[in-house]
Each structure stands twice: as structure tokens, then as C-alpha cells.
A and B are shown apart, each in its own frame.
Chain A
Amino acid sequence: MGRIWLQALLLVALFFGMYHTLRQVDWVNLLEIRETADKTEKKLGDMLWSMFRKSDREVKDKLVTHSLDSILVKLCDYNDIPEENIRLHVLEKDEVNAFALPDGHLVIYTGLIAACESPEELAGVMAHELAHIELDHVMKKLVKEIGLSVLVSMTTGSGGGEIAKEVARTLSSSAFDRQQEKEADIAAVDYMAAADIDPEPFGEFLYRLGGKSSRMGEYLSWISTHPDSRERGEYVISYAEEKTYEAGPVLGIGTWSRIREQLTAGIPASRSSQ
């Protein structure tokens, strides 16, 4: 009997020994798998962004884009996120929505900016979407809901337009799973605290819009696609209380007021103000 156990142990050791040895090789780089995956993600991101750009007008107003860029740069710089990998786009639409697309595209609707009462709230939403990008939630969600083979076929030209629309709809108007949303919320608080931006307004924003979601239905996509907003608002605030930071201004009060005024008045999407 002892001999059998010894032989079993030998086989198990052989199996795990071989597995451990093979794990030491960087197969992903050796076989250029990462490169292929990155190319697929880039093509997918460009394809989806061009669809959104065609259906809604992109805001080019420099006051808006520069201000949002400065928030993004601050979040990236303090969290060692390469800002050149993030492509920020503002689209003119009343919907309160923001979402991430593959290859680092971060899309924000003017309706969401208008719904924010302070630049800190907007920074919270941006940090949340940035976290989805950094934690690779976007591709994981697409693979889970659409399937890897369909995504690859889209980028090689054999995928139909209907599939591309379905992918766009999945990313802009359906939630990530509960665990991923929580991960992104927590990471957003971390990003904000590291950048010395007060994270509590982000929690208040979630809490406030969570209360409005039943009344304002279709315009509050970001909240309706991010369920349990009140509960999330509460844990974001309690997690933010544990963090230490020296909250500084995200944007000048005058800048934020002017952005709000412009959005209320309606921005000519293609205008380029200095």
C-alpha cells in the first residue's frame, strides 16, 4: 500500500513539477498573444467610437474639453495611469450617461455633466469609468456577453452591423456585474484620494441620483444601468471617510460655472472657443 502512495505522489509531483517549470516561460509574449489581443481591442474600440460619433455630436468646445481633460490628467498622473492610453470624448446628449469602450475610450454625455452639482462629482464618475478601463472590465464584459469569437469576427470584417450595434448597446446601456461595479467604485475613491480630490461628493452624487431614478427613468441611464445606487453611495461615502487626503479644487469655481452655463444654454457641438 505504501508503494502505491509513493507512486501516486511521484506522478502528482511530476505533473505539478512540469506545470511549474512551464509557468516560468513568458508564453504570452513569446507567442505574441498580447499583441494580437491589443490589436483586436484597438480595432473594436475605434469601430464602436466611430458608431457613437456618427449618431451623436461630439463636443469640441475647448472650455469643456480642456476642463475635463485637466480632471483626467490629474487622476491619471497621481495614479500612474498612462494618460495617452485614455481617449476622452464628450457627446452632446441629454441622457445622464458615461461609459467606457475598449481601448481606453471614455465617453461622457453632456447630460451627465449638467447633472453634476460640483466638479468633484464629475471627477468621481470619470474615476469610476477610468477604473473600469484599468481593471479590464470592458473586454471581460464583452467576452462574457457577446463571446470572444464574435468579437474577433467583428474586427476581421466578417461581423455584421447588427452585432456592432448590440455591442455598442451592451456597453452604453447595461451594467457591469455587481462585483465589478463595486471594484470600480472602490478604485474610483482610491484614485480620487490619491489625486487629492474629495471622493465624498461622488458618493453623494450616486445617492442623490439613486433617489431620482424612478422619477426620471430614461434620462438617467448611468444610474439605471448602475443598480443599487443609494447603497453604492453609502459605501462610497463610508469608504471615503477612511481615506486620508488633502482635498484641493478640481476646477476653478468660475470655470465650472461657465461650463454649466454653456451646457444649459446648449453648446454648438463643433464650435471651437479659445
Chain B
Amino acid sequence: MIAVRPFPYKPGEHEKEKASNSYLMSLIALIAGLPLPIVNLIATFFFYLGNRHSTYFVRWHCIQALLSQASLLLMNSYGFWWTVSILFREGRVTNDYIAYILTIVLFNAVDFAATIYTAIQTRKGRHVEWLFYGDLTHLLVKK
């Protein structure tokens, strides 16, 4: 799911810090943003905007962090509005709802662990690529 891959060049100290911060940004926002799922994405997006003219290594990791947040946003938003509808409309918790919430909790937990791991590795200058998001980022970010 996650692999350390070679990068075309050796990033400098400043680049390592910024690239690592792009992941930390989504974690800090995760804590501040609960239960509103959009906050993470906005925070990561603005961090990317601030660094969009930065070096290839920094831009690459900003985009990977942003893409992972975008897909979490989709599944978390659905769970959020489902919860709102139970609180203000349906009033009944169903097996389907609990199963969905558990699924997104598991996916969020995996994403959380992967984000911490990637932030640490990136800070050390290692290039970490995630399944799907890594390849997609290669398509989107040009040298």
C-alpha cells in the first residue's frame, strides 16, 4: 500500500521540512476539523497554494496529501450527512449506518497512520508513494 521509492534528485533540508509539513497540515486539520470533514481538505489545499511554485519534491508531496484528503472528504461527507439525517429526520440508527461509520473510521485510521508514517519518512528525505495516489500524483505533477 505504501512504498519508499527513489526520487529523481536528493531533496534539501528546507524541501524535506515543507514536504513533511504538507502531511502534518492534514493531521492538525483533522483534529480541528472534526466532525466537519471539509476542514482537512481546505487546510491542505491552502498549504498547496502557498507552495505551488516550490520545488518538485515539495509540490509532489503536497499533491499526494491533497488527493488523499479529497477522497476521504467524499466518504466522510456522506457519513456526516447521514448522521445529520438521523439526528434531525430519521431518528433510527440502522445496521447499514453503523457498518458505514465503522468502514470510514477504519479508512480514516489507516489514512491517519499512513500520514504520520509518510510525514516522518519525508522529513528524513525519503520519497514515499501511496497505492493509487502516488501514480495519480505522477500524472498531475510535472518536473
Contacts and interface: CB of A to CB of B under 8 A. Distances in A.
Interface of A: 1, 3-4, 7-8, 10-11, 15, 18-19, 22-23, 25-28, 31, 33, 37, 136, 139-140, 142-144, 147-149
A120 to B, nearest CB: 33
Given A143-B88, A148-B91, 15 more contacts: A7-B132, A19-B99, A22-B98, A23-B95, A25-B99, A27-B95, A28-B95, A28-B98, A37-B92, A140-B89, A143-B89, A143-B90, A144-B91, A148-B87, A148-B88
B114 to A, nearest CB: 13
26 contacts: A3-B135, A4-B132, A4-B139, A7-B132, A7-B135, A11-B131, A15-B75, A18-B106, A18-B107, A22-B98, A22-B103, A23-B95, A27-B95, A27-B99, A28-B94, A31-B98, A33-B93, A37-B92, A140-B90, A140-B91, A143-B88, A144-B89, A147-B87, A147-B88, A148-B88, A148-B91
Nearest to B71: A11
Given A8-B132, A23-B96, A27-B98, A143 B103 contact: no
- Most chain A CB atoms below 10 A, which of B86, B95, B106, B107: B95
B3 interface: no
Nearest to B96: A23
A4 B89 contact: no
Given A18-B103, A148-B86, A148-B88, A25 B95 contact: yes
B28 interface: no
Contacts of B135: 3-4, 7
Q: 8 smallest A-B Cβ distances: which pairs?
A: A143-B91, A22-B99, A7-B132, A27-B98, A23-B99, A19-B103, A4-B135, A18-B103
Contacts of B102: 22
Contacts of A149: 87
Contacts of B91: 139-140, 142-144, 148
Contacts of B87: 143, 147-149
Interface string B63-98: 000000001000100000000001111111111101
A136 B103 contact: no
Contacts of A8: 132
B109 interface: no
Contacts of A1: 139
Contacts of B94: 28
B4 interface: no
A15 B98 contact: no
B112 interface: no
B136 interface: yes
B6 to A, nearest CB: 18
B95 A10 contact: no
Contact of A10 (B75, B88, B100, B132): B132
A19 B94 CA distance: 13
A144 B86 CA distance: 9
